[in-house]
C-alpha cells in the first residue's frame, strides 16, 4: 500500500494537507458542542438565569454545528476528488505498464486478471482513500480531543469508556483475523468469474452452435457460487460488528448515567448540579470516543481488501519486462532485409524447443514464404521479428541490425504486420486502416483508399452506409472473416513499410480473391520485403524463396519447383492440396 502513495502528485498532496486541516477544525467544532450543552444545562438549573443567557450558548452551538456541516461537505468533495485523481494516476500507470508487457507477462497474469486489476482492484483503493481521508484522520483526532476533555473528570466513568473501547478493539481484531485471508480469495475469484464471463462472450457463437449454454451456465454458476459464498461469509462476519458496536455504545451510556445517578444521589446539594453537568458532558465525549473507534472500524473493514488489491497492483507494476527495448534508431547499413542466424526458440516456461537452428535471409523486394504442418512453428518464427518473443539462441536481424538493439518504435515503423487472427477495433473503416499512423508515418486519406483497393476491400467498403467512414464494431463482428482479413491487410499496406509480415492472413479468402490480392500486393509492394506464413500451396507457389518447417526443423528451402524435386515434406503438402496435373502446370 505504501508503495502506491508515491502516485500522489504535489497538487494532490497539497489538497490532502488542506483536507486534514479542515478535518481538524471540523473535529474541534464538533467537540465544542458538548461544552455549550453543559453551559446550557448549568444555566437552566441555576436560579435567576435569563432566557437571553440560555439562548446565547444555544446560538453558538447551532453555529458550530452549521460550520461543521459546511466543512464536512467541503472535506467530502476534496476527498472524493483526491481519491478519483489517485485512482486515475494508478490506472494510467497500470495500463502503460501492461501495454509494454510481452506475451510472456500477459500469459503469466492472464487477460481476465489484468482486467480485474485495472478495474475492481483500483476501485477498492479509491474507496479506501476517499473514506480514509474523512474517517481515518477525523476518528483519531476526535478521540484524542475527547479523551483530553474527559481526562481526570471521574475515574469510574473513564473505566466504563476504556472498557467499551477495549472490547471494541478486541472484536475488530478478531473479525479481521478471520476475514483477511478470504479477501485474497475474493479477488482471485473475481479474476476467475471475469475469465469465465469473457470466455463465454468471446465464444458465444460456438456455445450456441453446440447447444452448450447449459454447460457454460453451470461453469459460471460454480465460480459465481464460490465468490458469493466467500463474500457472504465476509459480510456476515462484519455484519456482527455493527450490533456489537451499538451494544457497547448503549451499554456504556447506561453505565455512565447509572454511575452518575449514584454519585448525584450521594452528593451534597451544591455538588449535585456540578456532577449533573459533568455527567452530561462526559456522556457526550464518551460517545465521541466510542464513535471515533466505530469509524476506525469502518476503515479497518475496508483496509484488508484494499491492501490485497494494492499488492495485486504492485505485482503488475513491479513485474520486470522479459523484453527490454534497445537504443538504436539510426540509419541502417541495409534496407528491407530480414535475416535469421542459427535461431532456436523455446517458450520461457517450456522445456522443448519449438524450432532449432533456423537460418535464412530475405532481401529487399523478395517474397519469402514459410510453410509447414500445423504446430511446426511458423507463426512463432515470424513473431520473433516484431519481438513478441525473443530468440532463445541465435540472432534475428532487420536491416542488418539485431532486433534486440532497436528502440521498439523504430523497429515497428519498419514493419507492416498482419496477424493470424484478424483484429479490428470499434470505429470507422478509415480509423482501422489508418491505425498504423505515427509521428514518423503519415497516412493520408489517399493512402487509405489505395490500401483498401489493393486489399480487394473496395467493393464492400463503398457499399457501407458511410463508405470509408462506415462503422466497424469491436472485433469486427459486423463483418465476415474474409472482410476482416482484407481490412487487416489494408492496415499494413497503408503504412508503406519496408517489410511486410503476413501470418496466415489469406486463409479466409476464396482462391480467386487470394490470387488477385497477391498479384496486386506484388505490384504495390515491389520494393518491400514480404514474409508470408501459409498452409495453402497456392499462396506460396510464386514466392522467391519457400522455407519448409517440419517438427521445428527447416527441412527444405528454395523455389516451388526446386522443393518439388528435393523436399519430400513439401511435395506431400503440395499433393494433399493439388493434383499431379496442377503441379505440373504450376512448374
Name the DSSP letter for residue 475.
G
Return d(Cα 86, Cα 90) in angstroms, integer. 6
User: Is the dihedral angle over the CA atoms 404, 406, 407, 411 positive or is it negative?
Assistant: negative
Q: Which three cell numbers stand for residue 502?
A: 503476413
Number of H helices, E strands in the chain: 22, 12
The model's confidence at residue 4, banded by pLDDT at 50, 70 and 90, is low
SS (H, E, C) 155-168: HHHHHHHHHHHHHH
Return d(Cα 81, Cα 18) in angstroms, integer. 13
- Contact yes or no for 255/160 (Cβ under 8 A): yes
Q: What is the mean pLDDT of residues 159-182?
A: 78
Return d(Cα 417, Cα 72) in angstroms, integer. 56
- Contact yes or no for 343/356 (Cβ under 8 A): no
Nearest to 194 by CA among 100, 96, 126, 120: 120
Return d(Cα 344, Cα 359) in angstroms, integer. 10
Query: Has residue 150 got a pLDDT over 70?
Result: no
Nearest to 362 by CA among 489, 499, 495: 499
Query: Has residue 23 got a pLDDT over 90?
Result: no
pLDDT digits 0-9 by tens, 445-504: 888 899 999 999 988 898 888 888 989 988 888 888 888 999 999 999 998 899 999 988
424: three-class secondary structure by DSSP: coil
pLDDT digits 0-9 by tens, 477-493: 888 888 899 999 999 99
Lowest mean pLDDT segment, chosen from 168-182, 220-234, 277-291: 277-291
Q: Give the bridge partners for 341, in sequence order.
A: 395
How many Cβ atoms are within 10 Å of 443's Cβ, its own excluded?
Answer: 19
How many Cβ atoms are within 10 Å of 184's Cβ, its own excluded?
Answer: 16
Query: Has residue 537 got a pLDDT over 80?
Result: yes
Q: What integer best gives the mean pLDDT of the chain?
A: 83
Q: Which three cell numbers stand for residue 385?
A: 521479428
The predicted pLDDT at position 337 comes to: 92
End-to-end CA distance of the chain: 68
Q: What is the mean pLDDT of residues 156-162?
A: 76
Could you give the residue ranges of the DSSP H alpha helices within 406-475? 408-412, 429-433, 445-454, 458-461
pLDDT digits 0-9 by tens, 97-132: 888 888 888 888 888 888 888 988 898 888 888 888
> For the chain, how many residues are written?
587
Estimate to the nearest angstrom the gap between the alpha carbon of 44 and the chain centroid: 62
Segments of 348-446 assigned E as strands? 355-362, 367-372, 393-398, 401-402, 415-418, 427-428
Q: Which three cell numbers stand for residue 261?
A: 445517578
Percent of the chain scored above 90 by pLDDT? Answer: 15
- Domains in the chain, please, with CATH? 2-317 (1.20.1560.10), 334-414+500-523+532-587 (3.40.50.300), 421-496 (3.40.50.300)
Q: What is the mean pLDDT of residues 78-91?
A: 89
- Contact yes or no for 366/81 (Cβ under 8 A): no
504: three-class secondary structure by DSSP: coil
Query: Has residue 10 got a pLDDT over 70?
Result: yes
Amino acid at each position: 500500500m505504501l508503495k502506491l502513495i508515491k502516485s500522489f502528485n504535489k497538487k494532490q498532496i497539497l489538497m490532502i494537507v488542506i483536507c486534514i486541516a479542515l478535518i481538524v477544525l471540523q473535529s474541534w467544532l464538533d467537540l465544542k458542542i458538548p461544552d455549550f450543552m453543559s453551559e446550557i444545562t448549568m444555566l437552566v438549573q441555576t436560579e435567576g438565569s435569563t432566557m437571553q443567557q440560555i439562548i446565547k450558548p444555544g446560538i453558538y452551538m447551532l453555529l458550530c454545528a452549521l460550520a461543521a456541516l459546511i466543512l464536512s461537505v467541503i472535506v467530502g468533495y476534496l476527498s472524493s476528488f483526491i481519491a478519483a485523481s489517485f485512482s486515475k494516476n494508478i490506472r494510467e500507470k497500470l495500463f502503460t505498464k501492461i501495454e509494454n508487457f510481452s506475451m510472456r507477462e500477459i500469459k503469466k497474469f492472464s487477460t481476465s486478471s489484468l482486467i480485474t486489476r485495472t478495474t475492481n482492484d483500483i476501485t477498492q483503493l479509491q474507496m479506501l482513500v476517499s473514506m480514509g481521508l474523512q474517517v481515518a484522520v477525523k476518528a483519531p483526532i476526535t478521540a484524542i480531543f475527547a479523551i483530553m476533555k474527559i481526562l481526570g473528570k471521574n475515574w469510574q466513568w473513564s473505566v466504563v469508556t476504556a472498557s467499551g473501547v477495549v472490547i471494541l478493539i478486541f472484536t475488530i481484531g478478531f473479525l479481521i483475523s478471520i476475514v483477511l485471508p478470504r479477501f485474497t480469495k475474493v479477488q482471485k475469484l473475481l479474476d476467475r468469474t471475469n475469465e469465465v464471463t469473457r470466455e463465454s462472450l468471446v465464444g458465444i457463437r460456438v456455445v450456441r452452435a453446440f447447444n452448450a449454454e447449459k454447460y457454460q451456465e453451470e461453469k459460471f454458476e460454480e465460480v459465481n457460487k464460490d465468490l458469493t459464498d466467500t463474500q457472504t461469509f465476509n459480510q456476515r462476519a462484519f455484519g456482527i460488528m455493527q450490533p456489537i458496536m451499538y451494544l457497547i455504545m448503549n451499554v456504556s451510556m447506561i453505565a455512565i448515567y447509572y454511575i452518575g445517578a449514584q454519585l448525584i444521589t450521594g452528593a451534597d446539594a451544591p455538588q449535585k448540579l456540578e456532577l449533573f453537568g459533568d455527567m452530561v458532558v462526559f456522556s457526550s465525549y464518551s460517545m465521541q470516543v466510542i464513535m471515533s473507534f466505530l469509524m476506525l472500524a469502518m476503515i479497518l473493514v475496508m483496509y484488508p481488501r484494499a491492501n490485497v488489491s494494492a499488492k495485486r497492483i504492485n505485482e503488475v507494476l513491479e513485474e520486470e519486462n522479459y523484453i527490454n527495448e534497445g537504443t538504436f534508431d539510426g540509419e541502417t547499413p541495409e534496407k528491407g532485409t530480414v535475416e535469421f542466424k542459427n535461431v532456436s526458440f523455446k517458450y520461457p516456461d517450456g522445456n522443448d524447443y519449438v524450432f532449432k537452428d533456423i537460418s535464412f535471409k530475405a532481401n529487399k523486394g523478395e517474397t519469402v514464404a514459410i510453410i509447414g504442418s500445423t504446430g511446426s512453428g511458423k507463426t512463432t518464427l515470424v513473431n520473433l521479428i516484431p519481438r513478441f518473443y525473443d530468440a532463445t539462441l541465435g540472432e534475428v536481424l532487420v536491416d542488418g541490425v539485431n532486433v534486440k538493439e532497436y528502440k521498439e518504435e523504430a523497429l515497428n515503423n519498419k514493419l507492416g504486420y498482419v496477424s493470424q487472427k484478424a483484429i479490428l477495433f470499434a470505429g470507422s473503416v478509415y480509423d482501422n486502416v489508418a491505425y498504423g499512423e505515427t509521428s514518423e508515418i503519415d497516412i493520408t486519406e489517399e493512402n487509405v483508399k489505395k490500401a483498401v483497393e489493393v486489399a480487394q476491400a473496395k467493393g464492400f467498403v463503398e457499399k457501407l452506409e458511410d463508405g470509408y467512414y462506415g462503422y466497424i464494431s469491436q472485433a469486427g463482428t459486423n463483418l465476415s472473416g474474409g472482410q476482416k482479413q482484407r481490412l487487416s491487410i489494408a492496415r499494413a499496406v497503408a503504412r508503406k513499410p519496408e517489410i511486410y509480415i503476413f501470418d496466415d492472413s489469406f486463409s479466409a479468402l476464396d482462391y480467386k480473391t487470394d490470387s488477385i490480392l497477391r498479384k496486386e500486393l506484388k505490384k504495390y509492394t515491389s520494393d518491400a520485403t514480404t514474409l508470408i506464413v501459409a498452409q495453402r500451396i497456392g499462396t506460396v507457389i510464386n514466392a522467391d524463396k519457400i522455407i519448409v518447417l517440419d517438427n521445428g526443423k527447416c527441412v527444405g528451402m528454395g523455389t516451388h519447383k526446386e522443393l518439388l524435386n528435393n523436399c519430400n515434406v513439401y511435395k506431400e503438402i503440395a499433393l494433399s492440396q493439388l493434383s499431379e496435373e496442377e503441379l505440373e502446370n504450376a512448374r
